[in-house]
Amino acid sequence: MQTTETILILDFGSQYTQLIARKVRECGVFCEIHPFRINEAQIRSINPKGIILSGGPSSVYAEDAPRTSFNPAELGIPVLGICYGLQLLAYLNGGQVDKAAAREFGAAELSIIQQDELFEGISKSTRVWMSHGDHLTKMPEGFDEIGNSGNSPYCAIRNREKKIYGVQFHPEVHHTPDGKTLINNFVRNICGCTQIWNAHSFIESAIKTIQEQTNGHEVICALSGGVDSTVLAVLLHQAIGDKLHCIHIDTGLMRLNESKILMDLFARHFNMSIELIDGSEMFLNRLAGITDPEKKRKIIGTSFIDLFEVAAKLFNGAKFLAQGTLYPDVIESVSVKGPSATIKSHHNVGGLPEKMNLKLLEPFRELFKDEVRAVGRELGVPDWFVARHPFPGPGLGIRVIGEITPKRLDILKKADDIYLEEIKNAGLYNDIWQAFAVLLPVQSVGVMGDERTYENVCALRAVSSVDGMTADWYEFPHSVLAKISNRIINEVRGINRVVYDVTSKPPGTIEWE
């Protein structure tokens, strides 16, 4: 999707590149992420109002360091370099970057020594978050220092005439309180962006793009039962009407009554037909004996595609398969945008056969979860559904740790249902980004009545987050955890021990597999 005003973000391998995009979007400005390998001609075709260079783990003076094939400062476009981006700007313009005597990770105080549009509304001393082992030791020609910190003498620099800026810290992370203000100053004051990009403008643009891409052909939408695919279906229906065919596969890996809830939603609120396919037997047969989490994801992803290709034969004109793939799915699966590290694959962007008879249609591929929710509300999807916690495409297949069997799935479904019910009863559901139960491949000794038991351990997970890129474990009142544990052990045959996961992301992921 293109808009008139775009901020271009070049990725040099930072795990925070997506956070830069989030902050720009929060300012109401559209942005795109591209790998640092993009050439000047491609940049000219995008015609961005400004460019942001991300951070990265490399040393800019290293032989194999990621560098652009052009000098960003010579494009005639405003540029903001962040951490490695600052060092690259300096290196390409005659400055010098060296290994710092002391690496700087964590909070630092930025002292603003020259007022500038970049710092409008920010006090002269402000807390920032650092993450670097190198620093600038010689200023590039034409630049001047506008801010420093205890360990970084050139913590913020500028070439005022060319509107080129660099900061050694990370304004995109929440640990830099004035970071959003700084980014807003860059995109609005320095780049001159005036348009407002929001859910309404996205819908208008996306409908036009979908119509152009599909060109009158029919589309099959994979309805998983989650927020993303449901909002996607409503958007597609507005764009192409009866050319859309929604198919929901009951994989057997859904939550308790999940398929019924989804069918009821569309029956009550939207004039759309859904084809329900019971694929539970096929999924469970293919997953029998499989314990490796990556193999599970690949099998589930492949099985989805296999069934949709069969279903496509019911619709002669179908040329596209629509999926609710999001930005975090992409960045965590494969480094398509830059040299960022791969963490895990997602069924939406991994496990697809090399030859597939349907072309993929992914209108949400550049959106974050909260942006999809905003789109859903704008489209009239009920808030009780839009506000639901994320549910992974592989479903409970990655929450039954180890081998997946019908019995183990049934145990987890019941425990998970009790967990979510009690969270809602306590009025905590909307305070939590995601909560779910996990069935472990571990059994423990217990006592029920006067009998010894040797049954399964259930782990509970709940996190606070904005977009799922980072997350903190949620601090439940002990009384709520006690009630949840008591109910699960008493009501779910097969579980005799409940534990709570207190791992944040990073270092852990939100899902266990």
Tokens in use for 360? 């993929």
Tokens in use for 189? 């004051």
Tokens in use for 437? 């139960």
Please tell me which residue in 5, 104, 172, 362 is annotated as part of the active site.
172
Is the backbone peptide bond immediately before 177 cis, with ω within 30 degrees of 0? no
B/e letters for 411-439, b = 16+ CB within 10 Å, e = fewer, are bbbbbbbbbbebbeebebbeebbbbbbbb
Q: Would strands 50-53 and 79-82 be described as parallel, antiparallel, or unpaired?
A: parallel
Q: Is residue 473 classed as helix, strand or coil in its secondary structure?
A: strand
Tell me the C-alpha distance between 235 and 34, whole Å: 26
Whether 451 is catalytic: no
Least Cα distance to 58 among 91, 80, 33, 32 occurs for 91
Beta bridge partners of 181: none
Q: What are phi and psi of 74, to 5 degrees?
A: -105, 10
Please tell me which residue in 27, 31, 83, 458 is annotated as part of the active site.
83
Please tell me which residue in 170, 245, 248, 346 is annotated as part of the active site.
170
Tell me the C-alpha distance between 182 and 165, whole Å: 11
DSSP symbol at 467:
S
Tokens in use for 270? 């939207």
Q: Residue 499 to residues 285, 405, 419: CA-CA distances in angstroms?
A: 30, 22, 12
Whether 170 is catalytic: yes
Least Cα distance to 470 among 174, 132, 144 occurs for 174
Query: Residues in the chain, how many?
Result: 513
Q: Centre a 10 Å sphere on the Cβ of residue 39 and count the other Cβ atoms it contains.
A: 11
Q: Residue 508 to residues 286, 403, 454, 471: CA-CA distances in angstroms?
A: 28, 22, 29, 9
Whether 83 is catalytic: yes
Cβ(470)–Cβ(495) below 8 Å? no
> Would you please indicate which residues are annotated as catalytic (active-site) residues?
83, 170, 172
